[in-house]
Amino acid sequence: MKPNVKWRYSVWIRLLYIIIFVIVLGELFFNNYSFFRIPTTSMEPTLFPGDRVLVTNFITGDIVHNDVIVFNMPFLKEPFDSIVFCSDQYLVKRCIALPNDTFEIKGGFFRVHGYKGLLGNMKQQKLVSKGIDTVMYNNNNNQISVFQAKNKFWSVREFGPLWVPAKNMTVVIDSASWIVYKALIEWEQKKKMHLKLNKVYLGDSLINAYCFMEDYYFVAGDNLPVSVDSRYWGVLPRSFIVGKVAFVWFTRRKETKNIEWKRMFLKM
């Protein structure tokens, strides 16, 4: 080859390598990361409406207590009595309890049996502990509680204890517990549950225990008074989780339209 031909050939080879590298890098990035815009005030003061966040799309990565996660809303509307995958509706909440955790709210404060760390937004929990205790739902406004134990509704200040289902783990099903896990079991089995003469049936079969097919998580918003979360609609299936919020990459104050530079790249 002539020198200029060799030079051109070398340039094209290098350019091809660069293009391939950029494509591979782009594929790796967009397959592992997503961008989301925070829609509501339910995660204030951690995240504000309009915040743009980068989300890691984990595949085998572990979720731990207090992770901020993005997921598909598992229920269409009230009453939250059946799980439906809402592909066009995303929520962001904080993970409070993991599969096989036993969770409760005592005096307004979140507790997981055996876990020594703090959970969720402590300032908001203190406000709940000093406020008026109210039930999550009541039949007077035609709302049905997902969580109901022995015909007693749990409240915003006294909730549980609730065992969070884990894959391949078994729970006893009786006249008290079946209400708590009804939506999950019906979703996994595609059959309806009902109570007859104080006995629980799944379809036409009598059921005394159930082994779960999936891991579940209890999530809550940091802004507790306005957050509709697992306290209301139940636990979250693992398969509905998109990923973890890594950091805020852009934010603009809604009222002033000013960019908040101090919150740029704020890590979760």
For the ranges 29-33, 158-162, 176-180, the lowest mean pLDDT is seen at 29-33
Most confident stretch, 51-65, 132-146, 177-191: 177-191
One-letter amino acid at 184 equals L
Indicate the pTM of the whole model. Answer: 0.80
Tell me which of 262 and 79 has the higher pLDDT.
Answer: 262
Average pLDDT over residues 104-132: 92
Looking at the DSSP assignment, which residues form a beta bridge with residue 218?
97
Whole-number pLDDT of residue 22: 46
Tell whether the model's pLDDT for residue 69 goes beyond 80: yes
Average pLDDT over residues 19-43: 62
The mean pLDDT of the chain is 80
Looking at the DSSP assignment, which residues form a beta bridge with residue 55?
34, 245
Task: Count Cβ atoms within 10 A of the Cβ of residue 230 and give its class: 0-12 exposed, 13-18 middle, 19 or more buried.
Answer: buried
pLDDT tens for each residue of 200-238 = 999 999 999 999 999 999 999 999 888 888 988 889 999
Tell me which of 81 and 60 has the higher pLDDT.
Answer: 81
DSSP string, 12-44: HHHHHHHHHHHHHHHHHHHHHEEEEE--SSTTT
Looking at the DSSP assignment, which residues form a beta bridge with residue 244?
56, 69
pLDDT tens for each residue of 70-115 = 898 887 666 666 677 666 678 899 999 999 999 999 999 999 999 9
Tell me which of 31 and 161 has the higher pLDDT.
Answer: 161
Tell me which of 153 and 159 has the higher pLDDT.
Answer: 159
Tell whether the model's pLDDT for residue 2 goes beyond 60: no
Whole-number pLDDT of residue 138: 47
Most confident stretch, 96-105, 124-133, 255-264: 96-105
